[in-house]
Amino acid sequence: MHGFGHKSLSASPAIALLLAAFSAPVLAAPASGGCTAPSTDCVEVGQLKLSVSLGAGSRSNPVLGESDIPLVIIPQISYYGKRFFLENLDLGFTLHEGESNTFNLIASPGYDRVFFYRDDLQNFFVSGATGAVSAAAPLLGQEDFSQEFDVRPRRTTYLAGPEWLFQYGNFVGQVDALYEVTGRHDGYEVRAAVAAPIIQSEHSLVISAGLTWKSAELVHYYYGVDGLYEPGSALSPFLKLGYTRALSDRWSVNAFIHYERLGSSIADSPIVSDDGVTTAFAGVVFRIL
C-alpha cells in the first residue's frame, strides 16, 4: 500500500529499477549527477522532474459501504537537491548519504485517509506511479455508515521522523520511524520494506515485501468508533510485484500489483468490511520535464 521512502542509495541503473518497485510512499528514484541511460526513474541533482501516467487500475476499499478507488490519470513530481528532496507529497532532508547507507529526515502524509475521502491528494499521487481522479467529496456511502456509527471526520495528517535506506548486494530496503506532528492523534507509524529484482534487463520485474506497524492512537483515529470499538496497535504486511520498461527517454510502460493484509485491530473494526487491500495498475508514463 504504502508507499515509503525517498532519496537514493546509489545512482546505478540496478538501484533505479529496484527503487521503482516500492509502494505506498515507496523508495524513490535515485538522484544522480548524470543519468546515462533512458529511464523514467533517474533524477539528476537539482532537476525538477514532472511526469504523468495514463492507464487503468483500482485500489480496493476496505471501509464498510465504500466503493473501490479508480486509478486512471497519475501526475508525479519530484526534486532532489544536494540535501533537500521532494517526492509528490513527501518532503525530506538527507543527513548522511553513503554507498550502502543513507539517513534522512522525512515528512509524509498519513495514508489511511484515502479510504474515507476521494479528494485526498494521495488519491492523485499513489506510490509515485499510480493515482486516481475522483470527485472532491467524501466517498459514496459516508453518510450511510455515519448514521449507524458515530464517525468523526478524519483530517489530513503528517508524520515525520528518521529514515534509513540501505543496499546489500541486489537488495535495497528502508525503515521509517514516524510520529504524527499535526496534532490530530499523536500516533506512531513504523514502515519497513525490502526489494530485489527478478528480471533486470531492458525489462524490469521487481518483487518487494514489507510491514507497517501503526500505534493504537493512529488506528483509533481512523478505524475506532467512540464508545463501541477501541482498537489496539496493528501490524500489516504487504507484497508487491512491479514491472517497468523504458521505451525512450520520455516514454515508459509501468504496471504493478500490490496486496496488503490489514492488521487484526483494523480488520476487526465495525466500519471495515475486508481484511486486505489490493491495488493494481497498468499504463504508460510520459516524462514532461
Q: Is the pLDDT of residue 271 over 90?
A: yes
Q: Is 166 helix (H, G, I), strand (E, B) or coil?
A: strand
CATH of domain 2-287: 2.40.160.40
Per-residue pLDDT reduced to its tens digit, 237-263: 999 999 999 999 999 999 999 999 999
Query: Cα–chain-centroid distance for residue 179?
Result: 17
What pLDDT sits at residue 219? Answer: 97
What type of residue is 215? S
The CA distance from 24 to 22, in Å, is 7
Are 94 and 103 a contacting pair, CB within 8 Å? yes
Q: Is the pLDDT of residue 60 over 60?
A: yes
Per residue, the 3-state secondary structure of 202-243, as one string, reads CEEEEEEEEEEEECHHHHHHHHCECCCECCCCEEEEEEEEEE
E strand spans, the chain: 2-3, 24-25, 31-32, 43-44, 48-59, 69-80, 84-87, 90-97, 101-109, 158-168, 171-180, 188-200, 203-214, 234-246, 251-261, 276-287
Are 39 and 113 a contacting pair, CB within 8 Å? no
What pLDDT sits at residue 35? Answer: 53
Per-residue pLDDT reduced to its tens digit, 79-128: 999 999 999 999 999 999 999 999 999 999 999 999 988 654 555 555 43
Q: Is 254 helix (H, G, I), strand (E, B) or coil?
A: strand
Per-residue pLDDT reduced to its tens digit, 121-132: 555 555 433 333
* Residue ranges covered by each domain of the chain: 2-287
What pLDDT sits at residue 233? Answer: 98
Per-residue pLDDT reduced to its tens digit, 194-253: 999 999 888 999 999 999 999 999 999 999 998 899 999 999 999 999 999 999 999 999
Of residues 142 and 116, more confidently modeled: 116
Q: Is the pLDDT of residue 145 over 60?
A: no
Q: Is the pLDDT of residue 26 over 70?
A: no
